[in-house]
Structure formats: C-alpha cells, structure tokens
Amino acid sequence: MGAKEAVKVLREKYRPPTKVCHCITVRLKVENIGLFDAIVEHSGRCCLPSTERAKQGKVTLIVSPYFFESTLQLLDRVRKSAVPEKVADLLKR
C-alpha cells in the first residue's frame, strides 16, 4: 500500500469532527482576571481561556461542543461567587 492509499484509508476511517467550538466572552474587573483564569484552567479543562484582551477586562473561553453545558455550569458557579461583573454569551459558530 502506497502513501496516497494509506492517507485515503485513514481519511475514510477517521473523519474530521463536524462540530465547531463555541466562544464565550466574559467581562471582569482587570484585577480578577488572574483568579478567574486559574479557576477555569483547573476546573476539569472544560474550556480554554484566552486572556488576549485582559487589559480591556475581557476573557474569551474557547469551548468544545462536548463541554458546553459543563462550561455554562462552571460560569454560573463562578458568577454566584461574585468574581465576574458581567457574563456576555457571544456564541460564534
């Protein structure tokens, strides 16, 4: 079996995922971003936080569709603990 045939077989056997990820933007006080990032990072790895816009008080969570509900539950628990000011759900598909 040649390389092209092997690649064809692998592509047929292992299809790429069809679901896209969700992005949720959370607004926080700038001084709470480190704490929020640590909580999210160590809560079962249900999402990937991006602190690219931390100086603006925004953290973007990249969420797999398989962990979307658990991420929303995590955000609800964090919201109740009074860390974030406002949670804006900006779902991008």
Give me the residue spans of the domains in the chain: 17-88
For 61, other C-beta atoms within 10 Å of its C-beta total 21
What does the pLDDT look like over 4-44, one tens digit per residue?
A: 888 888 888 877 666 688 889 989 888 888 888 888 888 88
Residue-by-residue DSSP string for 23-42? EEEEE--GGGHHHHHHHHHT
What does the pLDDT look like over 34-87, one tens digit per residue?
A: 888 888 888 887 888 888 888 888 999 998 888 889 989 988 888 887 544 555
> Rounded to two decimals, what is the model's pTM?
0.63
Longest dimension (CA), the chain: 60
Which CATH number is correct for 17-88, 3.40.50.300, 3.30.70.920, 3.50.50.60, 3.40.50.11540? Answer: 3.30.70.920
The secondary structure of the chain in percent helix, strand, coil, rounded to multiples of 5, reads 45, 20, 35
pLDDT for residue 93:
40
Positive or negative, the Cα torsion across 90, 92, 58, 71?
positive
